[in-house]
Amino acid sequence: ATILAACMFGSASAADMTVGFSQIGSESGWRAAETTLTKQQAESRGIDLKFADAQQKQENQIKAIRSFIAQGVDAILVAPVVATGWDDVLTEAKDAEIPVVLLDRTVDASEDLYLTAVTSDLVHEGNVAGKWLVDTVAGKPCNVVELQGTTGSSPAIDRKKGFEQALSGNDNLKIVRSQTGDFTRTKGKEVMESFLKAENGGKDICALYAHNDDMAVGAIQAIKEAGLKPGTDILVVSIDAVPDIFQAMAAGEANATVELTPNMAGPAFDALAAYKKDGTVPPKWIQTESKLYTQKDDPMKVYEEKKGLGY
């Protein structure tokens, strides 16, 4: 009878949860897929999702979180646009006893201000990209340009750090230009154009490292317009594994990418359901995988597989 009662009343159903989601915006294909999958995951679990798009602004995220607290939601998901400045609003959520789960980016705040963070190892991603480049150029001199993500965001900080770690001790590789492209295609293209101009029309550039695929896709366009061949004249390595980069890889115009799953919400909702059911506290970090793909990995096949998975 006890077991039956437990089944009837204590099942791990998330169905009666209302969850607020403060999303950054839609700067990249990866971000758009994350939004789609979060909505799908909520729907399939019967979760009532309140979605707020912050248009890249932290102040909008803070407003959205305050409004979720005022509405008395059961939990809050937040993809924090930048790493700092969260202490006050996270403390307000904690005081209201509303668990917060960080999605895809981390914050510089005390760990007890959130339940868990579902992210990749962002330093490791940069490291994987850097190691690929070190191995590929195999000791040859190589001037690298870097397109950084959004200034002050944890992926921009960590992907830079991990990449630099991989390059350190390899004096043949030098980062000659590094600037933000804000994780967007448009800015990726714009900033790459300025890099090309500044580096002898691109002839002095051997490789591009972009903190996400969208900036790489924009930069590939700029490289072509400058009359050079992306993927051969200038090697291209980036992060996310969105469908478009596999098309570019199939065309020989991109070389490598590090995969980031857009399904951060699935593990987040699982953790929230267990927490809600019997107070199970998840680990502080739910880490997603980071797999390297190159042109050898049948990019068109991966493209087909990716299409439809939120993209």
* One of 183, 275, 293, 303 touching ligand GYE (CB under 6 A): 183
Candidate segments 7-15, 26-34, 43-51, 62-70, binder of ligand GYE by CB under 6 A: 26-34
* One of 45, 105, 160, 189 touching ligand GYE (CB under 6 A): 105
Minimum distance of ligand GYE from residue 35's CB (angstroms): 11
Residue 308 is which amino acid? G
Minimum distance of ligand GYE from residue 239's CB (angstroms): 6
Does position 38 bind ligand GYE by CB under 6 A?
A: no
| Nearer to ligand GYE (CB atom), residue 61 or residue 74 | 61
Does position 30 bind ligand GYE by CB under 6 A?
A: yes
Which positions from 198 to 217 touch ligand GYE by CB under 6 A, shown as an x/- string? --------------x-----
| Nearer to ligand GYE (CB atom), residue 262 or residue 282 | 262
* One of 20, 99, 155, 310 touching ligand GYE (CB under 6 A): 155
Q: List the beta bridge partners of residue 75.
A: 19
| Nearer to ligand GYE (CB atom), residue 193 or residue 240 | 240
- For residue 147, count CB atoms less than 10 angstroms from its CB and return exposed for 0-12, middle for 13-18, buried for 19 or more: buried
Minimum distance of ligand GYE from residue 151's CB (angstroms): 13
Minimum distance of ligand GYE from residue 192's CB (angstroms): 16
User: How many Cα atoms are found within 13 Å in the side-chain-facing hemisphere of 211?
Assistant: 30
Q: List the beta bridge partners of residue 174.
A: 143
Nearest Cα neighbor of 143 from 178, 109, 118 is: 178
Does position 28 bind ligand GYE by CB under 6 A?
A: yes
Does position 259 bind ligand GYE by CB under 6 A?
A: no
Residues 6+ away with beta carbon under 8 Å from 309: 33, 37, 262
Q: What is the dihedral of CA 75, 81, 85, 90, to 10 degrees?
A: 0
Asked if residues 247 and 218 have their Cβ atoms less than 8 Å apart, the reply is: no
- For residue 270, count CB atoms less than 10 angstroms from its CB and return exposed for 0-12, middle for 13-18, buried for 19 or more: middle
Candidate segments 28-36, 109-117, 136-144, 225-233, binder of ligand GYE by CB under 6 A: 28-36
Residues 6+ away with beta carbon under 8 Å from 294: 132, 249, 255, 256
Minimum distance of ligand GYE from residue 140's CB (angstroms): 29
- For residue 272, count CB atoms less than 10 angstroms from its CB and return exposed for 0-12, middle for 13-18, buried for 19 or more: buried
Does position 104 bind ligand GYE by CB under 6 A?
A: yes
Instruction: Tell me how far apart the alpha carbons of residues 35 and 27 are, in angstroms, rounded to a whole number.
Output: 11
Does position 27 bind ligand GYE by CB under 6 A?
A: yes
| Nearer to ligand GYE (CB atom), residue 204 or residue 289 | 289
Q: What are phi and psi of 75, to 5 degrees?
A: -160, 160
**Number of helices (H) and strands (E), helices first, in the chain?**
11, 12
| Nearer to ligand GYE (CB atom), residue 132 or residue 183 | 183
Which positions from 59 to 98 touch ligand GYE by CB under 6 A, shown as an x/- string? ----------------------------------------
Write down the residue that tokens 């739910």 correspond to: 286
- Return residues touching ligand GYE (CB under 6 A): 27-28, 30-31, 104-105, 155, 183, 212, 239-240, 260
